[in-house]
Amino acid sequence: MLPKMNLCSAVLPGFDFEAMATIAEEAQFDAIELRVHEYGHRSLDELEQRGLEVMHKLETKNIEVQVLNSYLPIEDTVNVDRMLDVCRKMGVPKLRLVLPRSCHASVSRQANIRELLPSYEPSRQPAELMVALRTVLKDIERKARARGLKVLLELHWGTVMSSFSSAYFLLSDLDPRYLALTFDPANMVVEGKEDWEFGIKLVQEHINNVHVKNTSWTPVDGSWQWGWSTIDKGMVDWRHLLTLLDGNGYHGAYALEDFLVPQDSIDGAVAHLVQQRDCFMGMYPAPHQKAA
């Protein structure tokens, strides 16, 4: 059976909410991860006031919201509480919060694109910061448990959790029913990666979501730059990763987060998303290919 695949609305910054929903519908995605940001597609203030209306509009297009992808720092207690309450009121089972950046996130200067880094400036030295974050995460786990929700943290370049090892340090003793991990292999390639098989086994209990895109490093004028690639052309071997994930018990959703989507027309965006989703689904292992 092929996996469920959602669409991250963050890949459609050039479209307003209505156009984004139309693209998701025409590309035949039945669920989305909704970007919650003041510049689109819906802000936290808007969701507090009209969250149920937003859900109704999407339901008329047969689209579910599986995740609210916020850009809220995990240490912003007031707004994290607001976000948790909005999620519960809307009936969305999961939300994403963001972690601090790793000092100045120097890898961002090697990008051949301008990308929003979902993070915030740390106020403490690294060792002290990591210990403090564990205390914050335990409190968020408690709050998520009380509301019956799951908070996701993403393995993301430029943040304090860009590797399997850092994810294990932060999450290993937290309940994955309430605080879990979005595995994003392309983000990890940006900073270099640990062994896929070892890492997946290390944090497999916490992997609850997988973001699908690809990236490549290329030599430019005697230096190196990274940028996004199509799913089948970058440095992430998705066919291999899918076999590893399936063989280690991951049967959850995948979310297409391809930032190469054309932003100049609805038809162009739909065509690109359909092509990339079909490419990805074609890599999913047949039963006889699955890892032991």
Question: How confident is the model over 76-87, as a mean pLDDT?
Answer: 98
Question: How confident is the model over 246-260, as a mean pLDDT?
Answer: 95
pLDDT of residue 287: 65
The pLDDT tens digits for 211-249 are 999 999 999 988 999 999 999 999 999 999 999 999 999
pLDDT of residue 243: 95
The pLDDT tens digits for 22-66 are 999 999 999 999 999 998 899 999 999 999 999 999 999 999 999
The secondary structure of residue 109, as a DSSP letter, is G
Residue 94, strand partner residues: 67, 150
Q: CB of 104 within 8 A of CB of 220?
A: no
The pLDDT tens digits for 174-222 are 999 999 999 999 999 999 889 999 999 999 999 999 999 999 999 998 8
Q: CB of 108 within 8 A of CB of 158?
A: yes
The pLDDT tens digits for 6-18 are 999 999 999 999 9
The pLDDT tens digits for 100-116 are 999 988 898 899 887 77
Question: How confident is the model over 247-264, as a mean pLDDT?
Answer: 95
Residue with tokens 């066919």: 239
Residue 179, strand partner residues: 151
How far is Cα of residue 214 from the mean position of the Cα atoms in its chain? 13
| Phi, psi for 163 (deg, rounded to 5) | -140, 160
Residue with tokens 């909410």: 17
Phi-psi map region of 236: left, alpha, beta (phi>0 left; psi -120 to 50 alpha) = beta
Among the four given CATH numbers 3.20.20.150, 1.20.120.530, 3.60.70.12, 1.10.8.60, the one describing domain 5-289? 3.20.20.150
Residue 290 has pLDDT above 80, yes or no: no
Residue with tokens 């974050």: 133
Task: From 197, 222, 126, 208, select the one nearest 174 (Cα to Cα).
Answer: 208
Cα separation, 18 vs 234, whole angstroms: 31
pLDDT of residue 114: 78
Q: CB of 47 within 8 A of CB of 85?
A: no
The secondary structure of residue 35, as a DSSP letter, is E
pLDDT of residue 265: 97
| Phi, psi for 138 (deg, rounded to 5) | -65, -35
Mean pLDDT of the chain, nearest integer: 95
- Cis peptide upstream of residue 211 (ω within 30 degrees of 0): no
Burial 173-208 (b: 16+ CB within 10 A, else e): ebbbebbbbbbbbbbbbbbebeebeebbebbbebbb
Burial 40-53 (b: 16+ CB within 10 A, else e): bbbebebbeeebee
Residue 145 has pLDDT above 50, yes or no: yes
Residue 291 has pLDDT above 50, yes or no: no
